[in-house]
Chain A
């Protein structure tokens, strides 16, 4: 689960990492009264759960209340890569002297958390890794957490000034602690700035929480901002489905994540464009199939739907029942191509056959068929 910048900053603040003050506003009026608490210039920052908001015009420095009104009005409600901005963060503008990067990630290869710091702050760390890999210091974190002496070494890597190093080192230790305590899969300060007044601040913050750990962080789970996510993805999560929206025209309903990815790839391989990733999971549950159809038919771009079911633990007849129930309840006007094979395949075919639906057994054949049907429907 991605946290908003202001939520991430709340966690940092609680952990003792210095962050600039800020107020969240969801209307222009709120924005103006929030800014009144600070002195101008202030920064208006779109709170969206996607990167690239700066380039999209979602971050603006304003000098007067009039300017603030205009810019907050523009940013609130603007569309950033498909997501609507519902909130802005109002924060005083900092006098930046230099910018660094500090981030905690999972090192999958070594199976440990990893602290990465770089004197090249304010830009994508991936970009730094590609262009100037020597500018990144990597410190693996073991069960001890980040020992102070290593935090000091990282601070020396970032800044020459001992007074600044003294401020940076505890920030890094706390960053490592937030990452661990909150079950984060990413905790990033970019940029970590040194102001002209000699103060070190986390100017931006990004935390991603491990979805599998949300059960032990009910406080964080309640922070989820449903309005900032795709509607279909929200509905899917509530129904226990795994769904990712793409921009193609062929919807797919598959059991199993690997097979779902392979199905999307196969659609592209045969010349079509997948509209989504959707895994109904390993268990047999007709209701999930119905929810899946509901989500896909709610996407206007979907011209045809492919069911690709490999019956193992999933029983093909359960999927067939779910599909038939969905067809009864929803008015489905788009063509459906079904491929199923494995456990209770025969029973499924009989159920579908009674309703005039035919199921294929070969995956390539089914993908070619759904592409053809989508083209006819377009």
Chain B
């Protein structure tokens, strides 16, 4: 199992004839993603790597049954591309484009309110459900099918962590980069809720960074309503205040959004925080082991003990993990 994308995902590539669009279409096809259509206005009728190109997303959807769009257009055209994807009724729009002005995203955010489309990104590497589908630019060679969900604001740091998980024998259900901009369509909290519901995900790695308060919101949500183990990492402890660290959203402003603050919130919520990326696989392995153990004790106690006692068990399991 996986979240958001899987075997039934049918992708339309917006900006397929561009340099990036064409290059990554090849990559997605090679991974086995069902890329069913491409869109570039004025280039309908062409083919890119065998994929038919249409003039509009609407046409691509009606002719190919695409249910996911991925956007590789230049930043100046990205807002319009998102609107076109949303207006075509596609349930999942993934925007890879980097450098979109914040004002454009404020408008997109308001437009998405109450509409059924989920936006992932912008300024993100996309998603991959190992062995099933890849939408975006993540390298397929570093992932492995398994039960760990990975959600991150970064690109290469995600690859680094995923690769370390894979080397440690810990496969992934779905890995997603939600994007490094101040306003993104899908946030940590959204992904945590999806992983919580996914029977194919047993543990979650959350990779945050400085800026904003998404990690703080995630910590609160985990404490309240996520039962699966989560391991967190936060990049940017050495970042100076007031300076943008590459990502438009990675900035400590007015003393808020620091890595230290975010790490403290996770710790307060009982979530293990890795001090270095290489600690993550060990913490996940331990969390999975702990979970298995508590499940076993739960089973045993269910067999042995009377009903009221076993009913109380899940609560105590929660406590041990969080304190």
Contact = CB atoms under 8 A, between A and B. Distances in A.
Given A106-B182, A258-B156, 18 more contacts: A106-B183, A109-B213, A126-B254, A213-B101, A216-B101, A255-B156, A256-B157, A257-B245, A258-B209, A262-B277, A265-B238, A267-B238, A310-B159, A312-B159, A313-B139, A341-B163, A342-B142, A343-B139
A257 B160 contact: no
B289 interface: no
Contacts of A185: 102
Contact of B254 (A125, A362, A363): A125
Contact of A261 (B137, B182, B239, B242): B239
A265 B236 contact: yes
Given A255-B156, A312-B139, A261 B245 contact: yes
A143 B107 contact: yes
Interface string A103-115: 0001011011100
A339 to B, nearest CB: 11
A7 interface: no
B321 interface: no
Interface in B98-121: 99-103, 105-107, 109-110
> Which 10 A/B pairs are nearest by Cβ-Cβ distance?
A258-B154, A257-B246, A256-B156, A258-B157, A213-B101, A126-B254, A261-B235, A111-B109, A259-B156, A312-B139
B250 A257 contact: yes
18 contacts: A108-B214, A109-B212, A143-B107, A213-B103, A244-B245, A256-B155, A257-B154, A258-B153, A260-B246, A262-B157, A269-B276, A277-B239, A277-B245, A312-B138, A312-B155, A314-B156, A342-B142, A343-B141
Interface string A246-266: 100000001111111110111
Contact of A268 (B102, B153, B237): B237
Interface in B229-271: 233, 235-240, 242-250, 254-256, 259
Contacts of A244: 239-240, 243-245
Contacts of B249: 108
B246 A363 contact: no
B102 A261 contact: no
Contacts of A314: 156
Contacts of A274: 238
Given A242-B246, A364-B276, A259 B154 contact: yes
Interface in A209-243: 210-213, 215-216, 242
Given A258-B154, A259-B154, A265 B237 contact: yes
A109 B217 contact: yes
A360 to B, nearest CB: 13
Describe A's contact surface by its main secondary structure.
mixed
Interface in A112-151: 112-113, 124-126, 129, 142-143
B156 A261 contact: no
Most chain A beta carbons < 10 A, residue from B156, B254, B259: B156
A183 interface: yes
A282 interface: yes
A246 B238 contact: yes
B160 A210 contact: no
B207 interface: yes
B2 interface: no
A210 B103 CA distance: 9
Contact of B160 (A259, A265, A277, A282): A259
A210 B246 contact: no
Contacts of B248: 210-212
Interface string A264-304: 11111100001001010010000000000000000000000
Contacts of B246: 242, 256-258, 260-261, 277, 279
